[in-house]
Amino acid sequence: MQGYTENIYIDHFLQEFVEITGISDQLALKMVRSRKLLAITRGHYNWLDRPLRIHARHLLSRAGQRKYSYQQLIPVNLKGAHFLIEYVLSWAFEEDKLSRKGMLIFKDMFPKKYHQLVIIKNYARFPALIAQRLHHQNPVKSLRQLLIKLNKQGLSKQKIVQGLKQCMSRLSEEDNQKTIDLLGDILDMATGWYVGRNIELHDKILFDDPS
Residues 108-152 pLDDT 10s: 999 999 999 998 998 899 999 999 999 899 999 999 999 999 999
At residue 9, the pLDDT reads 60
0.75 exceeded by the pTM?
Answer: no
Whole-number Å distance between alpha carbons of 137 and 139: 6
pLDDT at 48 over 60: yes
β-bridge partners, 68:
98
CA distances from 20 to 50, 56, 136, 188 (A): 12, 21, 57, 59
In sequence order, what are the residues at sequence separation of 6 or more whose Cβ sits closer than 8 angstroms to the Cβ of residue 32? 48, 51, 52, 54, 55, 75, 76
Question: If you average pLDDT over residues 58-83, what whole number do you get?
Answer: 83
Residue 67 CB-half CA count within 13 A? 13
For the stretch 168-192, pLDDT in tens is 888 765 557 888 889 999 999 999 9
Let me know how long the chain is: 211
| pLDDT-based confidence at residue 11 (cuts at 50, 70, 90) | low
**Which of 114, 96, 101 is CA-nearest to residue 205?**
114
